[in-house]
Amino acid sequence: MARVTGLSVLTAYGRGPEALWDGLLSAAPAATPVTRFDTARHRAHAACTVPGDPDLFTELESLVGEACDQAGLSSARRARTPLVLAVHAGRDTAARAGRLSAACGLREVLTVHTGACAASATAVAEAAHLISVRTEERIVVAGGSFVDASMFAAFDSAGVLSAEGVARPFSAGRDGPVLGDGAAAVVLERDGSARPWAHVAGWGNASEAHHVCRPHAEGVGPAAAVAAALHRAGIGPDRIGYVNAHATATPAFDASEAAALVRALAPYGGRVPVSSTKALHGHCLEASGLVELAVCALAFHHGELPVNAGYLGPDGDCPLNLVLEHGQPPPADHALSLNTGFGGVSAVLLLAGP
C-alpha cells in the first residue's frame, strides 16, 4: 500500500485540509455569484471560487511545497522524487508541467493526466501502482482546475449546470452541478517517517465506451472500476465504510452511479454510507479525485462522515444510504472515492485509514 504522508488542498473554503473540513462540517455550500467573468448571457451564474483570478500553476507550486514539507522531504529526497500531474490540457501544458517540476525541486514529470473529471484519481492510481511494483519509492501527485469563462460557457451551453446554483446529488429535483475551484497535492510513499493521512490500498480504472457524454444506465464502467479496486486490495464490500461518490447532481449520471454502487457492493450496496461533497465544494473537474481523496482522509482523521448536502427527498433511481445527518462515524475501515468523466471513463481509489 502507498502511504499518503503529505496532503495540501485549496478549495473555495480556503487553503489547507482544516479549512476544507470546516466547510464540510458547516454543510453550507461554497457557491457564490461568479465575479471572475461575465455570466449575464448564461443560464447559470454561481460557482464555488476562491477570491480573484489565481494562476493554477503558481498555486500548484505552493501546494506541492506544502505537501513535501508536511511529509518531511529534504531537498535531496525531493530531487529523487518525480511528479505526476492532472490538469486540463492546453497548448503549453507540457512546458508548464516541466517548469513546475523544476520549481518544486522534483526529479521530472512522469505523466500529465487529462482524462476529464477522472484525471487526478487516475494520477493517484498510477503513482500507487509505480510504488507498489517498486519502480518508485515516492511520488508527488498534484492537480487542479479553476473555473474559467470557456469551461463555464461550455457546461452552461450544454444545459448541464444548475440554474438554481445549488447542487443536489442523488436527490429528487436535482438539476446539475455547480463548478468549483480546486487544487491539491499529495505525497505517496512506500515508507516514510510522517504519520500517514491514509493508505491507498487499491484502485480501479474502466471505460464503458457507451456514449461520449451519456452514461450506461446500469453503471457498467463505475461498477467495473469498483470491482477492480476491491480485487486489487483483496477485500470484500463488507469492509467499505464510506463512498465519496462522483455524483454531479445530474439526473442520468447520479442514477447510473447509484446502480453501479448497488451492483458492485452487493449485497451491501444499499447500506454503505454514501455522500457527494460536490454539493459543498463544487465540481472541481480534473482536481476532483485529489480534493475528494482529501475529504476521505479528513473523514478518517476526524471519525465523521461528511453529509450529502442539498438533499430535498428520495429519488427512486438512487436507492442509496445517503449521509444526511452530522456526526455519523464510518462503520468500517475503508472508503471508496469514485470519479467518472465524459467518454465513459471511471477511476476508483480504495483508501484505508491511517
Rounded-to-integer distance, Cα 183 and Cα 20, Å? 12
pLDDT of 218 higher than 90: no
Q: How confident is the model at residue 192 (pLDDT cuts 50, 70, 90)?
A: confident
Tens digits of per-residue pLDDT, 85-120?
Answer: 999 999 899 999 999 999 999 999 999 999 789 999
Range of the domain at 273: 198-352
In this prediction, residue 211 has a pLDDT band, given cuts at 50, 70 and 90, of low
State residue 212's pLDDT score.
Answer: 67
Domain boundary among 134, 156, 189: 189
pLDDT tens profile 274-285: 999 999 999 999
For residue 215, pLDDT beyond 80: no
**221 shares a domain with 114:** no
Please give the pLDDT value at position 194. 83
Q: Looking at the structure, tell me whether residues 184 and 285 fall in a common domain.
A: no
In the predicted model, what is the mean pLDDT of the chain?
Answer: 96
User: End of a domain among 146, 167, 189?
Assistant: 189
Going by C-beta distance under 8 Å and a sequence separation of 6 or more, which residues neighbour residue 101? 82, 83, 107, 108, 109
Q: Is the peptide bond before 330 cis (omega within 30 degrees of 0)?
A: no
Residues 7, 131, single domain; the answer is yes
Same domain for 65 and 132?
Answer: yes
State what percent of residues in the chain have pLDDT above 70: 99
In contact, 305 and 337? CB cutoff 8 Å:
no
Q: What is residue 237's predicted lDDT score, i.e. its pLDDT?
A: 97
Does the structure show a pLDDT above 80 at 216?
A: no
**Domain match, 39 and 177 both:** yes
Active-site positions?
Answer: 117, 246, 283
What is the predicted pLDDT for the residue at 193?
79
290: confidence class by pLDDT, cuts 50, 70, 90? very high
If asked whether residues 258 and 132 sit together in one domain, one would say no
Q: Bridge partners of 189?
A: 3, 138
| pLDDT of amino acid 185 | 98
- CA 209 to chain CA centroid, Å, is 21
pLDDT for residue 272 is more than 90: yes
**At residue 148, what is the residue type?**
D
288 with 212, same domain: the answer is yes
Indicate whether 92 and 128 sit together in one domain. yes
Q: What is the CATH number of the domain that holds 94?
A: 3.40.47.10
In the structure grid, which three cell numbers stand for residue 154, read together? 461550455
Centroid of chain to Cα 320:
20
Residue 25 and residue 163 in one domain: yes
- Identify whether the C-beta of residue 289 lies closer than 8 Å to the C-beta of residue 86: yes
User: Last residue of a domain, which of 171, 189, 207?
Assistant: 189
Burial 128-167 (b: 16+ CB within 10 A, else e): bbbbbeeebebbbbbbbbbbbeeebeebbeeebbbebbbb
pLDDT in tens, 154-165: 999 999 999 999
Q: Is the pLDDT of residue 353 over 80?
A: yes
Q: Are residues 162 and 206 in the same domain?
A: no
Q: What is the pTM of this model?
A: 0.97
pLDDT tens by residue, 10-53 = 999 999 999 999 999 999 999 999 999 999 999 999 999 999 99
Q: Considering only CA atoms, which of 210, 352, 201, 348 is closest in space to residue 288?
A: 348
**Residue 52 shares a structural domain with residue 143:** yes
Same domain flag for 71 and 102: yes
Q: How many domains does the chain have?
A: 2
